């Protein structure tokens, strides 16, 4: 069944720590301290300790060598090993059962909620098989209920903490990659997307069109109507840029001040049509003193005009200045890379 591992590095380290600690523990407590036990039992525990050591080393040094489903199976295997060792040592005490905490915490931290609760059920069954074998019935039932409830509550707490952390991380990532005023992407996030889009375009993927937008006479808007109106004008521009690309793969970014950029997946003709849609959408904006702002637009397309993100930015910037020099409020696209 498909599954998602939250953190490959963290999971591999968690498994490595367990195996590297469990190997000597089992060797000492299960073999060296039980030398009078039957040879077959000692051999089984010794082989288990050696296997734990090997797996721990692999998880530490080369986790990528292990199959993907190993990380899903490891809590079930660990629960089985704990149960087997408890049977081998005939230990139904609370201390021995606490080793079940590792597969529980691992699954709750790195795997899905469903898998975590399934692991909890396996642990409960393993614990029951041991405690009902080696403890009096009443005591066994009490211990089993107490341990099962404790395991379920622990899993629930860890799972919900993970969910809360995921939500907070998503908020922080959004804040780190977006402009607070307009909701558009910021320059850092946009530059990363632009480099990847140009790389794919040069390798034969969809063309990457860079559309640069500058609000005409933005300073006069602030001076005449105030910065509050200027902020509303910027939000109107961002909204128009997003609306114009509703049917096209695009990313809108505010590069700073009154400068915006849009990354489109398409050729020169599609980029030019997008620019005119954005201009028409912005022109229909109501409620701003002095009417909607005008914009100048410059377009460059990879691989038509450039084969690197930096070159494409220079081409689109040159087109933008060409639009401004031509009287502003217009769209320009250079035909040759500069």
Residues marked active site are found at 258
How many Å from the N-terminal Cα to the C-terminal Cα in the chain?
52
Rounded Cα–Cα distance for residues 16 and 14 (Å) = 5
Residue 211: strand, helix, or coil: strand
Question: How many CB atoms sit inside 10 A of residue 156's CB?
Answer: 15
Q: Are 135 and 92 in contact (CB under 8 A)?
A: yes
SS3 labels along 6-74? CCHHHHHHHHHHHHHHHHHHHHHHHCHHHCCCCHHHHHHHHHHHHHHHHHHHHHHHCHHHCCCCHHHHH
HSE, side-chain direction, 13 A CA sphere, residue 91: 16
Alpha carbons 100 and 124: distance in angstroms, whole number: 9
The two three-digit tokens of residue 166, written as one number: 């995921």
Q: Where would I find the H helices in 90-136?
A: 94-97, 101-110, 113-134
- Phi-psi category of residue 102: left, alpha or beta, with phi > 0 → left and psi -120 to 50 → alpha: alpha
- Which residues on neighbouring strands pair with residue 178, listed in sequence order? 185
- The closest alpha carbon to 213, from 246, 245, 237, 242, belongs to 237
- Assess contact for 233 and 218: CB atoms under 8 A: yes
Strand partners, 260: 213, 254
Kind and range of the H or E element at 219?
A: helix 218-225
């Amino acid at each position: 069944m498909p599954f998602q591992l939250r953190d490959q590095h963290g999971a591999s380290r968690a498994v490595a720590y367990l195996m590297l600690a469990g190997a000597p523990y089992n060797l000492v407590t299960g073999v060296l301290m039980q030398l009078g036990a039957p040879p077959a039992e000692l051999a089984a525990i010794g082989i288990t300790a050696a296997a734990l050591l090997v797996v721990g080393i692999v998880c530490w040094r080369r986790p990528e060598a292990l199959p993907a489903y190993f990380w899903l199976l490891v809590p079930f295997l660990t629960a089985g090993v704990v149960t087997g060792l408890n049977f081998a040592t005939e230990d139904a005490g609370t201390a021995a059962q606490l080793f079940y905490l590792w597969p529980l915490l691992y699954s709750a931290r790195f795997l899905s909620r469903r898998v975590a609760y399934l692991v909890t059920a396996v642990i409960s069954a393993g614990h029951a098989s041991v405690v009902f074998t080696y403890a009096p019935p009443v005591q066994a039932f009490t211990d089993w209920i107490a341990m099962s409830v404790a395991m379920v509550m622990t899993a629930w707490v860890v799972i919900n903490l993970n969910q809360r952390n995921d939500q907070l991380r998503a908020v922080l990532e959004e804040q780190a990659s977006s402009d607070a005023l307009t909701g558009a992407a910021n320059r850092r996030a946009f530059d990363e997307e632009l480099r990847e889009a140009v790389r794919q375009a040069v390798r034969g993927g969809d063309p990457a069109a860079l559309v640069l937008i500058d609000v005409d006479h933005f300073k006069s808007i602030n001076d005449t109507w105030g910065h509050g109106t200027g902020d509303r004008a910027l939000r109107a521009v961002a909204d128009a840029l997003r609306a114009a690309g509703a049917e096209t793969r695009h990313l809108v970014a505010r590069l700073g001040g009154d400068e915006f950029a849009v990354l489109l997946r398409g050729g020169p003709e599609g980029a030019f049509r997008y620019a005119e849609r954005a201009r028409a959408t912005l022109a229909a904006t109501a409620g701003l003193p002095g009417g909607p702002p005008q914009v100048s637009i410059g377009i460059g397309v990879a691989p038509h005009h450039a084969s690197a993100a930096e070159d494409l930015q220079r081409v689109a910037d040159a087109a933008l200045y060409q639009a401004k020099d031509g009287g502003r409020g217009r769209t320009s696209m250079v035909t040759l890379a500069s």
